[in-house]
């Protein structure tokens, strides 16, 4: 029941954000202008997105090898693809689905798999921070305007009034005060086992024998993310003049939009990219057209790739269990 309620909440968030994104816009005119898009660039963007998934799957193998486990390239890539598809259907469930998919066909412990994903996320976060810093160097006024638009000029930046900071502080204090009672709970050993498994995944980076290909795949993944955004500028007349730094800026803004727990990034991505593009001088209508085109193209690629991968893993799983 709780999962169903969360699912409904995600959908409602998407609906509300889509309303704010397209508010005061002529939807008929936007739909009409879809025929003027140069779709060859969107197709190329989809190819870049697929390459990113493949590269992420290949990179995952190096982390698993560091833990002493082997996984086939096909199973690793297909599991990553299924994870992306799951994120569209059930936000924040992609990592669990990805680990479960590979566990079923390769028999690798779930906690070890999840630990490597925690490491991946840490690396991705570091790269995102780097891109944000680059964007600040070249697009400081635009980013400042973006956050001012999203949070309001009067938003209080004080840590002591930040609800996230307060929540983390309270949880930390309660955990420390009740640590003896917590250790007596039945699920404590299970949680402890999972934490140790996650830690093994995080520390596996220093055990990598092939650091160079791991780094190259990391670079390739983010290069594809950048190109699949930047290349779409050429699909719409009003965005053709934007440069690669604008691409980095929109990649960052779109990534921040995807953090919002909406259904497959619907609404949150559109609103974030619209605000971002308007901030660099693009009119609201072509900004929305761009956001809609990019999001739709990547979602379509993810669904097609994910369905194919699901069928391949299902077939593989049946053979393993025979």
- Spatial distance between the Cα atoms of 258 and 298, rounded to a whole number of angstroms: 13
Higher pLDDT, residue 24 or 42: 42
What kind and span of H or E run contains 173? helix 163-177
Higher pLDDT, residue 140 or 300: 300
Long-range contacts of 75-80 (CB under 8 A, 24+ apart): 75/102, 75/105, 75/106, 75/313, 75/316, 76/102, 77/53, 77/309, 78/309, 78/310, 78/312, 78/313, 79/105, 79/309, 79/313, 80/53, 80/56
Of 26-30, 98-102, 303-307, the poorest mean pLDDT is in: 26-30
CB-side neighbour CA atoms (13 Å) of 261: 9
CB 99 within 8 A of CB 107: no
How much is the pLDDT for 290? 95
Question: Please, what sign has the CA dihedral across residues 278, 279, 280, 281?
Answer: positive
How much is the pLDDT for 93? 87
Higher pLDDT, residue 188 or 237: 237
- pLDDT, tens digit, 9 for 90 and up, residues 111-126: 889 988 888 888 888 8
**What DSSP character marks residue 243?**
-
Higher pLDDT, residue 107 or 204: 107
Residue 175 has pLDDT above 70, yes or no: no
Whole-model pTM: value is 0.80
Nearest to 225 by CA among 253, 204, 206, 202: 253
Residue 147 has pLDDT above 80, yes or no: no
How much is the pLDDT for 161? 47
- What backbone torsions phi and psi does residue 208 show, to the nearest 5 degrees? -60, 130
Residue 159 banded pLDDT, cuts 50, 70, 90:
very low
Residue 75 has pLDDT above 90, yes or no: yes
Mean of pLDDT over the chain: 83
The two three-digit tokens of residue 222, written as one number? 């983010």
Cβ-Cβ contacts under 8 Å for 222 (sequence gap 6 or more): 127, 131
Task: Give Rg (Cα) of the chain.
Answer: 21
């Amino acid at each position: 029941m709780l999962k169903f309620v969360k699912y409904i909440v995600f959908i409602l968030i998407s609906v509300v954000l889509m309303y704010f994104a397209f508010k005061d816009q002529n939807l008929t005119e936007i739909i009409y202008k879809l025929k003027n898009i140069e779709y060859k660039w969107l197709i190329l963007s989809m190819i870049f997105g697929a390459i990113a998934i493949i590269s992420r799957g290949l990179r995952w193998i190096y982390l698993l090898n560091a833990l002493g486990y082997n996984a086939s390239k096909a199973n690793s890539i297909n599991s990553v693809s299924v994870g992306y598809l799951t994120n569209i259907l059930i936000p924040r469930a992609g990592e669990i689905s990805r680990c479960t998919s590979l566990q079923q066909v390769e028999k690798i412990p779930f906690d070890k798999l999840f630990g490597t994903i925690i490491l991946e996320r840490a690396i991705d976060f570091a790269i995102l921070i780097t891109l944000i810093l680059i964007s600040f160097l070249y697009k400081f006024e635009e980013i400042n305007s973006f956050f001012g638009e999203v949070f309001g000029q009067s938003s209080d930046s004080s840590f002591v009034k930040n609800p996230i900071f307060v929540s983390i502080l309270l949880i930390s204090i309660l955990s420390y005060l009740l640590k003896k009672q917590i250790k007596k709970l039945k699920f404590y050993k299970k949680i402890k086992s999972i934490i140790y498994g996650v830690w093994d995944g995080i520390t596996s980076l220093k055990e990598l024998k092939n650091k160079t290909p791991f780094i190259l795949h990391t670079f390739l993944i983010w290069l594809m993310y950048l190109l699949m955004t930047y290349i779409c500028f050429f699909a719409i007349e009003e965005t053709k003049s934007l440069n690669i730094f604008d691409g980095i800026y929109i990649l960052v803004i779109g990534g921040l939009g995807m953090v919002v727990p909406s259904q497959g990034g619907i609404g949150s991505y559109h609103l974030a990219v619209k605000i971002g593009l308007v901030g660099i001088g693009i009119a609201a209508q072509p900004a929305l057209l761009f956001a809609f085109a990019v999001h739709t193209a990547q979602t379509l690629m993810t669904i097609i790739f994910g369905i194919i991968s699901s069928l391949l893993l299902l077939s593989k799983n049946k053979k393993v269990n025979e």
